[in-house]
Structure 1
Amino acid sequence: MLDLNPDLRAFAAAIDEFCRRECGTREQRDALTGNGTENHHGGLYRRMAELGWLGAGLPEEYGGAGGGMTEIAVFAERSAYGLAPVGGYTTSIIAAGPYLKFGTEKQRTEVIGGVAAGAVEAISMSEPGAGSDVAALTCKAERVDDGYLINGQKTWCSNAHLADHILLVARTSGKRHDGLTMFCVPTGAEGLRIKGIDTMGGREVNDLYFTDCLVPAESVVGEADRAWHQLTAGLNAERLILAATMLGRAKRILDDTLEYVRQRTQFGRPIGTFQALRHRIADLATELACCELLVYRVAAMADEHPDRQLPREASMAKLKVTETAKQIALEGMQMMGGYGYATEYDMERHLRATVVSTVYGGTSEVQRDIIGKTYGL
């Protein structure tokens, strides 16, 4: 890792040791994840919460440790490197942002306090007809005497089946951008059905079906019809968190590849000593070092100026790290040959995890478009 301050180095070392002990072998990880079909283990996650790690980047008044984006990045990176099955962290810490910025005190206490204590949260924007174009969503929340009546479908909602609440973005008026509102919807709400979507990554994402789902007016997070502006204030943090997570995964993939090419012998010597592979490793390691510098620089910028939006830098981090992680996984599989394709090894799981990282949280194409716009293009 970078030469962080002593407290952050100790934090990273503690996470590394925990992961080595609790999920350091393939057998342990298979037992915790149902042979790779689940990406989150509640018991392990709650133990991390008891250690204070899940709240490292959350305010002390809500059960956190008072840190910032750098602490979040360290936890995201090192837990991903350790292959800890705590997939609920990413959506939880991303969802926490809007509650911290715009939620009521009651919402903050319940949701942020829950995240620090080990609860999982989810956020739902995408619909069958609205993915990258969030403003095209049609899931409707109609104002009624008792609150809001929600009808419609959402899709690709990560960890909804594990979450206590869903931070829902729904349409409350006909305006394209200025007609969206955020709601805090309990996952047990009447009129909400959660259905898992089978993917090659296992059980992670869900369809949500709302049928006359009534939520009280106090479920609104922030201001009605202002969700678009609230979203743009938080998407930068989301991209940085995803980048930090994939940074850890990419480091693990490179280390797994190195271990293989050092041990595998062909033509009388380790295959890593052949120039073709040695140069590929050198290029990948260099790209990964650039990713690390970018992630922690953007995290430091976010901590130095908490109210400043960083669309260019956050999108650069998300784009660079996820595309690099995918490249390392593809190269790692190639260098491992048939063993990289075999489920006996982690490489094929690495590839699945990295390929989809260039899609969720804003595709690589969307990130490039955002970056270009910051240059006036």
Structure 2
Amino acid sequence: MPRVLTDERRDLVKAVADFCRRECGTKEQRDKLTEGGQEPHNQKLYEKMAGLGWLGIVIPEEYGGAGQGMTDLCLFLEETAYGLAPISGFGTTVITAAAYEKFGTAEQKRRILEGVTAGRVEAISMSEPGAGSDVGALTCSAAHVDGGYVINGQKTWCSNAHIADHILLIARTSLDGSKHDGLTQFMVPTDAVGLEIRGIETMGGKEVNDLYFTDCFVPDSAVVGSVGKAWPQLMTGLNLERMILAALMLGTARRAFDDTLVYVRQREQFGQPIGSFQALKHRIADMATELACAGLLVYDVAAAIDAEPNRVFAREASMAKLKCTELAKHVTLEGMQMLGGYGYATEYGMEALLRSTVVSTVYGGTSEIQRDIIGKTYGL
């Protein structure tokens, strides 16, 4: 985290850290909260955080939030990830809330943003079986009829749809123009007639879902923003999505590093702590250096976004997402190696950290896509 914090931010970090130690600081507590690691989101714990005002950290004050910026959000995300708090619904909720704040009607803003501060979960759905990194290739359709739209098609990899109140759906309303034209955002209740939510089994537990729309009707009032303009609307949220993922993986990487450090200090072989052997000592040094660099990058970009909130920092946000997700995967793999057989055992938790990081280089734009974006900003 940044070297210099205001008193308010220092208090926030301390309060979140204390909460996590108290509520989910032991493996026994986390197992109970997550049904043995199968449920990465615990709604009761989530609502406790809502009661403390943390879930509305970036929600405007008029909707019950704190109205803070990217730096405060990253501090909260990093500390909850470090503390292993099972609140996986928060990331998609914040991303979705930002879209409603920018483009929603007065009623949509009231319903969604006030719901977020109260502890409700929201989800967003873009990917399809044939449209992953190439979001513009999506085919899920929303045909206009009298009074609304009829949605048909399949979505996939929708995080938290099974625990969300609504899905912010990106669907095709027109075939005119380029593949990025004719896309529209809709607010779809998860209990809508014609929507089936089916979980996808993953090594991370119950996280993602397939969505099946069969003649699912939504009224005209469900449109979020302008019809046919979802693509430029989505582009305005890239800073937020990438920084959320960067901060979460920075906290996860820190946790994996600290757990590894404890182990190599205590574990003895050949009459001395294994961390004293040069082979491990140098790897610890390299990881510590990389973590320090990643932290400086994240909070430098966060400060820039706070200074110019309406500017898209495509290069910098992609760098933060790329660096932190790749580093988190590397640190957990190194932790697995240094813990030896214990790294593979569920008792020690390193394998769970690994499972939570390997997908981070895929969701929210793969590492390959992030590198491509960064390269393009240099005219390549």
User: Which residues in structure 2 correspond to 1:115-154 (within 5 Å)?
Assistant: 115-154=116-155
Aligned-partner Cα distance in 1 for 2:171–2:361: 25
Q: Which residue of the partner structure matches residue 10 of structure 1?
A: 11
Alpha-carbon shift at residue 66 of structure 1 (Å): 1.3
Aligned with 2:200: secondary structure? strand
Do residues 189 (structure 1) and 192 (structure 2) align? yes
Do residues 203 (structure 1) and 195 (structure 2) align? no
Q: Choose from 306, 317, 342 the match for 1:339.
A: 342
Aligned-partner Cα distance in 1 for 2:11–2:58: 15
Aligned-partner Cα distance in 2 for 1:219–1:246: 33
User: Which residues in structure 2 correspond to 1:82-231 (within 5 Å)?
Assistant: 82-174=83-175, 175=177, 176-231=179-234
Q: Contact (CA 8 Å) 1:58, 1:68: kept in 2 or not?
A: no
Q: Which residue of the partner structure matches residue 57 of structure 1?
A: 58
Instruction: Report the TM-score, using the length of structure 1 for normalisation.
Output: 0.99
Q: Give the aligned CA root-mean-square deviation in angstroms.
A: 0.7
Alpha-carbon shift at residue 124 of structure 1 (Å): 0.3
Report Cα offsets for 1:96-118 as digits up to 9, x if no partner: 11111111111111101111110
Q: Which residue of the partner structure matches residue 271 of structure 1?
A: 274
Aligned-partner Cα distance in 2 for 1:180–1:254: 42
Alpha-carbon shift at residue 342 of structure 1 (Å): 1.1
User: Which residues in structure 2 correspond to 1:191-340 (within 5 Å)?
Assistant: 191-340=194-343
Consecutive aligned runs of 4 or more in structure 1 exceeding 3 Å deviation:
none
Instruction: Report the TM-score, using the length of structure 2 for normalisation.
Output: 0.98
Report Cα offsets for 1:174-230 as digits up to 9, x if no partner: 141111000010101110000000001100000000000000111111000000000
Aligned-partner Cα distance in 1 for 2:103–2:377: 25
Q: Which residue of the partner structure matches residue 352 of structure 1?
A: 355
Q: Contact (CA 8 Å) 1:323, 1:358: kept in 2 or not?
A: yes
Aligned residue type for 1:179: G
Alpha-carbon shift at residue 58 of structure 1 (Å): 1.4
Aligned-partner Cα distance in 1 for 2:349–2:5: 29
Aligned with 1:64: secondary structure? coil
Aligned residue type for 1:207: D
Aligned residue type for 1:52: G
Aligned residue type for 1:355: V
Aligned-partner Cα distance in 1 for 2:378–2:168: 32
User: Aligned pair count?
Assistant: 377
Aligned with 1:202: secondary structure? coil
Aligned-partner Cα distance in 1 for 2:146–2:20: 50
Aligned with 1:161: secondary structure? helix
Q: Which residue of the partner structure matches residue 376 of structure 1?
A: 379
Aligned residue type for 2:318: S
Q: Contact (CA 8 Å) 1:168, 1:183: kept in 2 or not?
A: yes
Aligned-partner Cα distance in 1 for 2:71–2:111: 24
Aligned residue type for 1:190: V
Q: Give structure 2 stretches of 5+ with no counterpart.
A: none
Aligned-partner Cα distance in 1 for 2:5–2:21: 21
Q: Contact (CA 8 Å) 2:238, 2:312: kept in 1 or not?
A: no
Q: Contact (CA 8 Å) 1:294, 1:317: kept in 2 or not?
A: yes
Aligned-partner Cα distance in 2 for 1:203–1:363: 21
Aligned-partner Cα distance in 2 for 1:61–1:310: 27
Q: Give structure 1 stretches of 5+ with no counterpart.
A: none
Alpha-carbon shift at residue 146 of structure 1 (Å): 2.0
Aligned-partner Cα distance in 2 for 1:256–1:73: 22
Aligned-partner Cα distance in 1 for 2:371–2:253: 21
Q: Which residue of the partner structure matches residue 37 of structure 1?
A: 38
Report Cα offsets for 1:21-65 as digits up to 9, x if no partner: 000000000000000001000000000000000111111011101
Aligned-partner Cα distance in 2 for 1:265–1:152: 57
Report Cα offsets for 1:311-361 as digits up to 9, x if no partner: 000000000000001000111100001110111121001111111000000
Aligned-partner Cα distance in 1 for 2:58–2:112: 14
